[in-house]
Amino acid sequence: MQRDSQIFDLIQKEHQRQLHGIELIASENFVSDQVMEAMGSVLTNKYAEGLPSKRYYGGCEIVDQSEQLAIDRAKQLFGAEWVNVQPHSGAQANAAVMLAILNPGDKILGFDLSHGGHLTHGSLVNFSGKLYQPSFYGVEPETGEINWAKVREVAEREKPKLIICGASAYSRDWNYQALREAADAVGALLLADISHPAGLIATGLLNDPFEFCHIVTTTTHKTLRGPRGGMIMMRKDFENPYGLKTPKGELRMMSSLLDSGVFPGTQGGPLEHVIAAKAVAFHEALSPSYKEYTAQVQKNAQVLAKSFVDRGYKIISSGTDNHLMLIDLRSKDLTGKLAENTLIKADITINKNMVPFDDKSPFVTSGIRIGSAAVTTRGLKEQDMDRIVDYIDRVLMNHDNETILSETRKEINNWMQQFPLFSY
Ligand SMILES: *Cc1c(COP(=O)(O)O)cnc(C)c1O
């Protein structure tokens, strides 16, 4: 077969784009060569519906072992008793959990999308808001932080069957204990979606959601630095609270409900090549060097936040506990859209983002979201964060000066050559 140069030329261009720029999208990271090698392997050819040693297809002896390794390593990494590594993405993990434990029309309570929550936590344009009845909690206008007593008030008023915590753009840590007390007060289950800070949680840098949350979902490709994917975990399995029985008349365990939520509930065959890559990433995350990495991610985020504040930028909640921050550009008379479109001209990649109580549309926005996970993988340290903020400030303050923008881009491209990525 003739080589598909159209596609491989594009992949080469994307490779160069990633090498040349400063990557500050909070949900992105750079995986290792061996994670990519596993993803690009012959495992993609295998059908393996079911779970290790309980498959609906023959020839699964080898993928049984690679999937089991992924499960065992994830358990070790998070101190979990039960894990399903098959969700194709974070959204799929949440869909599987909700399908498993809710009926259409049931009430759910999540963190407001416009305050930093995720679409799958009840947004009306998402399955979670269409199939279930959502209500939301948010941050306080004065502090930019969640008031835990108020979340409990909303829970007591709405009486949801599921409370969801976790976010895509919230820079502070979570009080899982207060949320569990709210859940217990109304008989709800508590789900933590740790898609963003999973790596910092695995290495003990943030509060442990497993102690208080019944179920935990995550993506594997953000701070966890694995392939694009998702998973579902529980520290302890327990009997389902809905009275669902097995054919033998025993109460079904939650693990069995959640497994069915993934397959056959919301997915078909698992992506065994991606699951093998997850196993590789978890092995990497169990190493001492990953612990150093996440500590540096957190340090770098704190320096970024401080450098922005020092230059007169407003950070929502005034700082960060994790790897990301939301910047309200209204004090600089800029929009998120203008910032994103201008920064990309200097090869700095960020994303525009709504800020809490935003008066602009999601296509314009008043803010940008910035994260340190990818640049830290690249090897950048504290002093480099200050330099990044200098570049961002220079670009934003000169957004209509094409000469300064292109000179800054050249400077950045040269600088990034000092930080090689990928060994090929
Ligand atoms: C990124 C994210 C997801 C979705 O992950 P995908 O892999 O893009 O589907 C879900 N929840 C939260 C909180 C996220 O940040």
pLDDT score at 81:
98
Contact 329, 315 (CB under 8 A): no
What is the rounded CA–CA span in Å between residue 387 and residue 307? 9
**What's the sign of the alpha-carbon dihedral 152, 154, 157, 161?**
negative
Q: Which two tokens stand for residue 229?
A: 């994917």
CA distances from 402 to 94, 306, 392 (A): 44, 28, 15
Residues 6+ apart with CB under 8 A from 284: 32, 35, 225, 290
What is the rounded CA–CA span in Å between residue 37 and residue 180? 41
Write out the residue range of the structural domain in which residue 135 sits. 34-286
pLDDT score at 258:
97
pLDDT score at 423:
82
* Atom number, ligand 1, closest to the C-alpha of residue 228: 7
User: One-letter amino acid identity for 174?
Assistant: W
Q: Whose CA is nearest to atom 4 of ligand 1?
A: 90
What is the rounded CA–CA span in Å between residue 372 and residue 161? 35
Q: How many CB atoms lie within 10 A of CB 363?
A: 9
pLDDT score at 422:
86
Among residues 247, 267, 286, the one where a domain terminates is 286
102 appears as a binding residue in the annotation? no
What is the rounded CA–CA span in Å between residue 311 and residue 263? 50
Residue corresponding to tokens 């979990």: 80
Domain shared by 277 and 145, yes or no: yes
Domain shared by 299 and 338, yes or no: yes
**Ligand 1 and 195: CB distance under 6 A:** yes
Q: Which two tokens stand for residue 332?
A: 């600089």
- Residue 71: name the closest of 61, 81, 60 by CA: 81
Domain shared by 217 and 297, yes or no: no
Q: How far is the CA of 122 from the centre of ligand 1 (A)?
A: 13
Length of the chain as a residue count = 424
Residues of the chain with pLDDT under 70: 424
**Ligand 1 and 166: CB distance under 6 A:** yes
* Atom number, ligand 1, closest to the C-alpha of residue 91: 9
Residue 298's domain is classified under what CATH number?
3.90.1150.10
What is the rounded CA–CA span in Å between residue 208 and residue 177? 10
Ordered alpha helix ranges (H), 187-271: 198-202, 254-260
**Ligand 1 and 168: CB distance under 6 A:** yes
pTM: 0.97
363 appears as a binding residue in the annotation? yes
Domain shared by 205 and 308, yes or no: no
- Residue 83: name the closest of 294, 249, 255, 214 by CA: 255
Catalytic residue annotation: 47, 49, 193, 219, 222, 228
**Ligand 1 and 227: CB distance under 6 A:** no
Quote the number of domains for the chain.
2
Residue 148's domain is classified under what CATH number?
3.40.640.10
The best mutation among 88, 111, 112, 118 to test binding of ligand 1, ranked by most ligand atoms within 8 Å of the C-beta, falls on 118
Residues 6+ apart with CB under 8 A from 377: 29, 30, 225, 293, 421
Residue 395 forms part of a structural domain: yes
Domain shared by 278 and 308, yes or no: no
CA distances from 264 to 51, 132, 270 (A): 11, 20, 11
pLDDT score at 246:
84
pLDDT score at 245:
87
The 3-state DSSP class for residue 21 equals: coil
The 3-state DSSP class for residue 345 equals: helix
**Ligand 1 and 91: CB distance under 6 A:** yes
